[in-house]
Amino acid sequence: MASLETLRLQFQQRYGRAPRLFSAPGRVNLIGEHTDYNEGFVLPMAIERRTHVAAAPRADRRIRVFSQEMNEAAEFELSADLQPLEGKPSGAWVNYVRGVAACLDNDWFTLGGADLFITSDVPLGAGLSSSAALEAAVGFALLSVSEQSGSLLNVALALQKAEHEFAGTQCGIMDQYIACLGQADHALLIDCRSLGCENVPLQLGEARIVICNSGVRHALASGEYNTRRAECAEGVRRLAQHLPGIQSLRDVAIEEFDQIAQILPDAIRRRCNHVITENTRVAYAVDALKRGDLAFFGKLMTASHESLRHDYEVSCQELDVLVKLALRQPGVYGARMTGGGFGGSTVNLVEAAHINFFVEKVSHEYAKACGITPEILITGAEGGVREDQ
Ligand code: ADP
Ligand code: MG
């Protein structure tokens, strides 16, 4: 993306007045995958890629919006019964904007009309949550120019509702939460049951977070996502016959599970095993980060990938190739798929001195194996949604 000054000028040219500027980050989940909708733990961080929104208020109730990435403009009226396009949820980009406006203009906040100009350097559909970055940047812009303020957690919950009801994705709270509440140089441990969180200092020494975009996204992702949610619910139902009082897989300890796992059909047992062990890995990972034990942190990342591949079965050939290639390189502590799976990105922890070699080698070998040159980002942890000057 070009500079903030360019964005200011583009807004001025389009709408004929000066804007305020807002932005929200994409994210990468370091560990804790498919645990969010099981009321478990996740550990994302905001990345150094952001979605920017220039915005100015209007005297009426109209929202006019332009997305540079889509090279398309849209407009609509704020109203109590604002609906998704054609009355049904879809991934059409305008639905994210309509959903955010509809879900924020509620009991907590009152919005006015606005002109918006969107531009982003978060890759779309790469598993780095460009959708939550868009929602958070648009939401914060609309609130700010309407002179509304409030708890960022309430904003995140409204954004999640927008994604459910307007984009039709039944996502957990992680993406909107980190886009709103991320802190520079910290990962964010989120308890997806209580919605409490802890900022965990990202003490990586000379190591860096390296993200490899596989460049693929297989069509079965959303269908399989819903199947996994149903399998976990079925696991809880069956386990509850022996462990009365459990509400979700979050409530099951590994030792308890190992004793009764044989009552479950094979696929369900493996799904549950992933979620239960992954929650434990998150706890160990936070501890390892606090101690600066990168070797152990990396081992947990790699174990998470193995569990997602074998037990949860949400990896794919391209992600497995990227992880395998990464683990073969010098200076790599750990590697795993990140995000929902069936494509998207991997996250790797790599010693700074080895990164150039890593990028060259992994790009070359992945292109040879899969015919795609991967996009590779090296990133620190950024702050969440904000106004930019
Ligand atoms: P991810 O969140 O992993 O990037 P999603 O499918 O959840 O993938 O979200 C991508 C969708 O979000 C895009 O197809 C588009 O509809 C919307 N989107 C994201 N960023 C922008 C943007 N800058 N302008 C317009 N729409 C965007
Ligand atoms: Mg998304």
Distance 131 CA to ligand 1 centre (A): 4
Q: Is residue 279 part of a domain?
A: no
Query: How confident is the model at residue 368, as a pLDDT?
Result: 98
Residue 30 lies in a domain: yes
346: phi then psi, degrees, rounded to nearest 5: -110, 155
Counting residues of the chain whose pLDDT is more than 90, the rounded percentage is 95
CATH number, domain containing residue 65: 3.30.230.10
What's the confidence (pLDDT) of residue 219? 84
10 falls within a domain: yes
In a domain, 82, yes or no: yes
Q: 121, 116, 158, 164: which is closest to 136 by C-alpha?
A: 158
pLDDT for 226: 87
Instruction: Quickly count helices (H) and strands (E) in the chain.
Output: 11, 12
User: How far is the centre of ligand 1, averaged over its atoms, from the C-alpha of 251 (Å)?
Assistant: 34
Are the CB atoms for 115 and 56 separated by under 8 Å?
A: yes
Q: What is the pLDDT of residues 149-203, one digit of tens each?
A: 999 999 999 999 999 999 998 888 999 999 999 999 999 999 999 999 999 999 8
Residue 177 lies in a domain: yes
pLDDT less than 70: residues of the chain: 1
> Does 116 reside within a domain?
yes
Kindly report the protein residue whose alpha carbon is nearest to atom 11 of ligand 1.
131
Atom of ligand 1 nearest to the CA of 163: 7
Is 62 part of a structural domain of the chain? yes
| pLDDT at site 1 | 62
pLDDT number for residue 220: 80
Which residues neighbour 297 within 8 Å (Cβ) at sequence distance 6 or greater? 285, 288, 289, 333, 334, 349
How many angstroms separate the CA atoms of 306 and 332, rounded?
Answer: 16
What are phi and psi for residue 312, nearest 5 degrees?
A: -90, -20
First to last CA, the chain: 16
* Residue nearest atom 3 in ligand 1 by C-alpha distance: 127
Tally of domains in the chain: 1
What residue's CA is closest to ligand 1, atom 12?
A: 131
* 122: containing domain: 4-201
Q: Which two tokens stand for residue 52?
A: 């920017």
* Ligand 1 contact via 338 beta carbon (within 6 Å): no
Question: Per the domain annotation, does 73 fall within a domain?
Answer: yes
Cα–Cα dist 189/176, whole Å: 14
